[in-house]
Amino acid sequence: MLPQSRALEAADADNREGQDETVGGKGAIPKPVANIPEGRRVERSALRPKGQCNVRFDGGFVQVFVLDKKKKPLMPCHPARARELLREGRAVVHRIAPFTIRLKDRIGGETQPIRVKLDPGSKTTGLAVVREEETDGEKTAHVLFQAEIHHRGSAIKKRLDQRRAFRRRRRSQLRDRTPRFDNRTRPDGWLPPSLRHRIDTTLAWVERLRRLVPVSELSQELVRFDMQKIENPEISGAEYQQGTLAGYEVREYLLEKWGRTCAYCGSENVPLEIDHIHPRSLGGSDRVSNLTLACRSCNLKKGNRPVGEFLAKTPERLSTILARAKAPLKDAAAVNTTRWALFQALKATGLPVETASGGRTKWNRTRLVLPKTHALDAACVGKVDRIEGWNRPYLSIKSTGRGSYQRTRLDAFGFPRGSLTRTKAHFGFQTGDRVMAIVTKGKKTGTYAGRVAVRSSGSFNIQTGSGVVQGISYKDCRLLQRADGYGYSIHPITEKGEAGEALPLPGMNAGLSRARG
C-alpha cells in the first residue's frame, strides 16, 4: 500500500475556499461528533470530542475507503489517517457501511491495482478486496476488505409460494378462472427469482466496490458439485455426458452437508472419516444419501452395525441423522445453476476475470493454515502464495429487500384485512434508514443508533444491537445513511473461523452535522 502520510496530502490542503462542505451536496457541514457504538445507550456527558470514530478493533483494523473531491476512488487508508483527516475538516463521511470518506482538497492521485475475489455460495457469498504483489515468483495478497453477503433466496421462494397459493385459491374457489401460465414463455437464460437474486446481489456489490476502490481485476471460484456422481457413483460412459463432468469430491460435499462435525458425537476440529450409515457389508450403497462423517473413535465403535442399533440409546440423534441424510441437493443445484450466469455477468463488466476451482481454494486455505470462513475462502481463490492482513474483522451484509409494493395485509386465506399508507416515507425517514437518536429528556434519555421503523404518527422504533427501542420521536432522529436494502454488522474472525460477537459499525456518528441540544 502506498504511504498515506504524503499520499493524501495536497498543495492546497489549507485552502478551503469554494470547497464542497457536505456529504451529498450543499447544506450543513457534517462535522463528526461523539464516538457512540451502535445500540449503546450513553449519557450526553460521556460524549467524546469531535472528530473521533471507532474504526479499530481487536485482531486487526478496518480499512477506510477514500474518494477524491469528484468521488473517484483512491487507495484505502489506515483508520488513524482517516480520523486525522476528519478531525482537520479535510474530509467528510461519504458512507457508513462500508466506511468511506471523501476528500475535499484532492482530485486524482496515484493508485495500485486492486482485485476483487468472490466465493459464490447458495446462502452466503464470500467477498474479498486484495492488493497483490509478486516477489521472486511468489504472489502475496494483502487483504484490504472482506465481507460476507447473506442472500435471501429462501425468503423470496417462500413469498412466491405464498402468493401462488393465494392466487390458486381465489381462482379456483371464487372466480373459476382458467389459469394462464401455459400461455407465457420464458426468454433464454431465464432463472427463477430466488436464483436471479444471488447473481444480481453479487454483481451489485462488485459494482459498488468499483465505485469505492480502483478495481482492475476480478476472481471467481467456479464451485462445481457433480451431482450425478454424488447420487450415483457407478455412472459412466454415455450416461455421464448428460451431467457436469468435473466437480467437487464426495468428501468435500459431505463436509459442507454435515457442518464439518461428527454426525454421531458432534465433535469439531478433529479428523473426520466417511462412514456408511447402512453398512456396505449389509447391502448399503455408496450414494451420498447413505454417507456421513464420523470421527475415528465413533467409526470404530459403530463398525459394521446398522445406525439404528448403534444409536439405540439416543433416538433423537438417530432421527436427526436419518432426516439429514435424505436432505435434497438444492444448495448444490443452486450453485451449479448460477455459476456460469455469474461468470458471464462479471465478464460483461469489461474487467479481466480469473477463475479457479473449489479444490484449489481449499488447498490454499489448508496450506496457509487459515480459519474456515466465506470471506477467507474468497481471499484464497486463485493463485496465491501468501495472504497478509487476513485477521481483520469482516462486514456481514444481510439482504433485507426494499419493502413491498403491496399496500394491503392479507389474512390466512389471502383476503385483504387492512390497508397500509400509500407512502413509505414519513417526516423524511423511511423504514430501514440508519439513524442516530439523541433523546435529552424523558424516560428514554440517552443516545441510540441503528435501523429505524417509521410510523405516520412520528413515533419511531429503532433496532439497535441490544434490542428494539420504541417510541422515539422523529424530532430526535438524525439520518446517518439511507436504506439500501441491506443490513450491516461487523464481526471479528475467531480461531475456529466462527463469527465473533457483533462489533459497532465504524464511524456511526461521523456523519452527523451536529448533536441536538
211-258 pLDDT, tens digit per residue, is: 999 999 999 998 655 455 555 555 544 443 344 323 345 777 788 788
Looking at per-residue pLDDT, the higher value among 207 and 44 belongs to 207
**Strand-strand pairing, 386-388 and 138-150:** parallel
Return the amino acid letter for 218: L
**Are 201 and 249 members of one domain?**
no
| 78 pLDDT above the threshold of 50 | yes
Which of the listed residues 377, 399, 421 is the one where a domain comes to its end? 399
201 and 339 fall within a common domain: yes
Q: Which of 307, 326, 345 is at the close of a domain?
A: 326
* Mean per-residue pLDDT, 469-496: 85
Using the Cα atoms of residue 332, residue 248, residue 323 and residue 317 in order, give the sign of their dihedral.
negative
65 and 144 in a single domain? The answer is no
Query: Is there a domain that residue 180 lies in?
Result: no
To the nearest 10°, report the CA torsion of 31, 34, 38, 44. Answer: -130
Going by C-alpha positions, the residue among 509, 514, 517, 508 that lies closest to residue 98 is 508
Residue 23 located in a structural domain = no
Count Cβ atoms below 10 Å from residue 199 Cβ, excluding itself.
Answer: 21
| Percent of residues, the chain, with pLDDT higher than 90 | 30
pLDDT at 8 exceeding the cut of 60: no
Reduced to 3 states (helix: H, G, I; strand: E, B; else coil), residue 86 is: helix
Residues 383, 437 within the same domain: no
DSSP state of 233: T
Do 198 and 192 touch, CB atoms closer than 8 A? Answer: no
Query: Which percentage of the chain shows pLDDT scores above 70?
Result: 76
Is residue 197 domain-shared with residue 278, that is, in the same domain? no
Last residue of a domain, one of 274, 307, 326: 326
Residue 163 in any domain: the answer is no
pLDDT at 352: 94
Instruction: Give the model confidence (pLDDT) of 388-408 as tens digits.
Output: 989 888 999 999 888 777 777
Residue 26 has pLDDT above 60, yes or no: no
CATH number at residue 219: 3.30.420.10
- How far apart CA 208 and CA 203 sit, in angstroms, is 9
Tell whether 237 and 212 lie within a shared domain.
no
| pLDDT for res 185 | 78
Q: Is the pLDDT assigned to residue 495 strictly greater than 80?
A: no
Question: Would the pLDDT of 53 be above 50?
Answer: no
36 occurs within a structural domain? no
Task: Clarify whether residues 275 and 388 are in a common domain.
Answer: no
DSSP letters of 382-393?
SS-SEEESTTS-
Q: Identify whether the C-beta of residue 435 lies closer than 8 Å to the C-beta of residue 452.
A: yes
Higher pLDDT, 11 or 109: 109
Domains of the chain: total: 4
Q: 511 — alpha (psi -120 to 50), left (phi > 0) or beta?
A: alpha
Task: Give the other-Cβ count within 10 Å of 112's Cβ.
Answer: 13
Query: What is the rounded distance in angstroms from the CA atom of residue 512 to the CA atom of residue 28?
Result: 10
Residue 428 has pLDDT above 70, yes or no: yes
Cell of 346: 462479471
3-state SS track over 456-507: CCCEEEEEECCEEEEEEEHHHEEEEECCCCEEEEEECECCCCCECCCECCCC
Residue 185 lies in a domain: no
Q: Are the beta carbons of 16 and 10 closer than 8 angstroms?
A: no
- Range of 415's domain? 406-485
Tell me if 87 is assigned to some domain.
yes
Q: What's the rounded Cα separation, in Å, for the pair 369 and 66? A: 31
Per-residue pLDDT band for 422 (boundaries 50, 70, 90) equals: confident
Residue 438 included in any domain: yes
Task: Let me know: does 282 contact 306? Beta carbons within 8 Å.
Answer: yes
Compare 172 and 92 and report the one with higher pLDDT: 92
Q: Please check whether residues 349 and 288 belong to one and the same domain.
A: no
Q: Nine-digit cell at 453?
A: 421503523
Is residue 66 predicted with pLDDT exceeding 60?
Answer: yes
What is the rounded average pLDDT for all residues in the chain? 78
At 133, which amino acid appears? E
- Can you give the pTM of this predicted structure? 0.72
Q: What is the CATH number of the domain that holds 243?
A: 1.10.30
Higher pLDDT, 43 or 152: 152
> Does residue 444 lie in a domain region?
yes
Lowest-confidence region among 13-22, 188-197, 404-413: 13-22
Q: Per residue in 260-273, pLDDT tens?
A: 889 998 888 888 88
Same domain, 351 and 451: no
Residue 104 clears pLDDT 60, i.e. is over it: yes
Confidence of residue 29 (pLDDT cuts 50, 70, 90): very low
| Matching residue, cell 382458467 | 178
Q: What is the CATH number of the domain that holds 461?
A: 2.30.30
Q: Are residues 202 and 340 in the same domain?
A: yes
What average pLDDT score do residues 93-110 get?
Answer: 90
For cell 484490504, the residue is 144
Same domain, 322 and 337: no
Statement to judge: residues 342 and 204 lie in one domain: yes
Q: What would the mean pLDDT of 182-192 be, rounded to a whole number?
A: 80
